[in-house]
Amino acid sequence: MSLDLAFALARRVNPRETSPNPRVGCVLVKDGRTVGQGVHHGYGKPHAEPVALQKAGARTRGAVAYVTMEPCAPFAGKRNPSCAEALIAAGVRKVVCATLDPNPKVAGRGLALLRRAGIKTSVQPDYAAAGALLNRGFFSVMRRRRPWVVLKTALSLDGKAAATNGKSRWVTGKPARNAVHALRAQYDAILVGAGTVLADNPALTSHGAGKNPLRVVLAGRRSLSKRAKVFDSSAPTVVYRKMALRAILKDLARRGVGTLLVEGGPTIHAAFLKAGLVDEAKVFLAPKLLSGSLDPNTAPRLKTPKVTKLGDDWLIEGAL
Ligand SMILES: NC(=O)c1ccc[n+]([C@@H]2O[C@H](COP(=O)([O-])OP(=O)(O)OC[C@H]3O[C@@H](n4cnc5c(N)ncnc54)[C@H](OP(=O)(O)O)[C@@H]3O)[C@@H](O)[C@H]2O)c1
Ligand SMILES: [Zn+2]
């Protein structure tokens, strides 16, 4: 269905580009043919609907618009015409969307405007979950006043995040680390605890894989050197002293952070899990055994690990 195409278009955009706005895709269909498509490419850039309308030109009249989220309605101070107004002016006959705008102040206003102009509207409940997932950060901030929180960790097979002396460079190999850099470029902010800054001195950047996220350090009572890499000029950094995690998340949402990658260490991960503030987890697993090792690079490793799925568990076995 054309809504699937609208989703596919929106998914191609890095959420960082549109943040704090949502990613939106729009497809215009007339007589069973796609006559226009558009996406919102970035904050401050045109919305998906006017892009699709422009592509379709005169073929827009009588078309059905499929949009991943309710078209926006006019609000005070907005310069461009709203998408609902643009769709009305272009003469579409029907608007089908996956979800309403989650902002309680505007939800339903775009569709109401369309209906008042005699345009049919439909919200597809089957697409509600996909619509919210497409813009996890935006929906989370609007509905819960906190970012969408993803816990990321790199572990050895025996469940260690670092060697016995606290060294965690490197638990995983180059491809996994590159994947982490690419991952960072998808998040508005990345968070670590003081223990991680002291042990690893990470820069917490995307290493050229895309925009750098805002860096967030939970320093607690520890003092950190101003020369730590996390305070270099490559991206802004926010430091919180001892503070409730919920209050920190609320403050981050206020700063425009929709998605947050929590990279550790174990103390921070435990605190987030205990507070029930984790929405998603990404665990990178290295075929090594770090227990009793001083250096992750020389720790014993499984030469040819064999992975078997046993119910919800995995057996990973192999000779050292
Ligand atoms: N393998 C991996 O994926 C990975 C990733 C990151 C780190 N690591 C490893 O993990 C180790 C470091 O972890 P860690 O558990 O020792 O330390 P950590 O989790 O990085 O940081 C803990 C610190 O955070 C502060 N903190 C906790 N909750 C806070 C809050 N609500 N507000 C403000 N500050 C808060 C605490 O301050 P107070 O002391 O004042 O309470 C504590 O000092 C290192 O060995 C590092 O190499 C591994
Ligand atoms: Zn719009």
- Tell me the per-residue pLDDT of 140-159, one tens digit each, with 9 for 90 and over: 999 999 999 999 999 999 99
Catalytic: 49? yes
Q: Which of 196, 200, 223 should be mutated for ligand 1, with most atoms under 8 A from CB? A: 196
Domain ranges for the chain, please list them.
2-140, 145-317
pLDDT of residue 59: 96
- CB atoms inside a 10 Å sphere around CB 118: 8
pLDDT of residue 79: 66
- 166 close to ligand 1 (CB < 6 Angstrom): yes
Q: What is the CATH number of domain 145-317?
A: 3.40.430.10
Between the alpha carbon of residue 272 and those of residues 96, 212, 230, 253, 277, the distances in Å are 38, 23, 21, 16, 5
For residue 102, pLDDT over 80 is answered with: yes
Ramachandran region of residue 243, left (φ > 0), alpha (ψ -120 to 50) or beta? Answer: beta
Q: Residue 300: which residues within 8 A CB-CB, separation 6 or more?
A: 288, 289, 293, 320
Q: How far is it, in rounded angstroms, from Cα 147 to Cα 264?
A: 17
Q: How far is it, in rounded angstroms, from Cα 92 to Cα 76?
A: 25
Superfamily of domain 2-140: Cytidine Deaminase, domain 2 (3.40.140.10)
pLDDT of residue 75: 81
- Closest protein CA for atom 13 of ligand 1: 265
Q: What is the pTM of this model?
A: 0.94
What is the chain's mean pLDDT, rounded? Answer: 95
Residue type, 1: M
Place of tokens 């509600």: 128
Ligand 1 atom at shortest distance from the alpha carbon of 196: 20
For residue 116, pLDDT over 90 is answered with: yes
Beta strand 64-67 pairing with 25-30: antiparallel
Ligand 1 atom at shortest distance from the alpha carbon of 171: 1
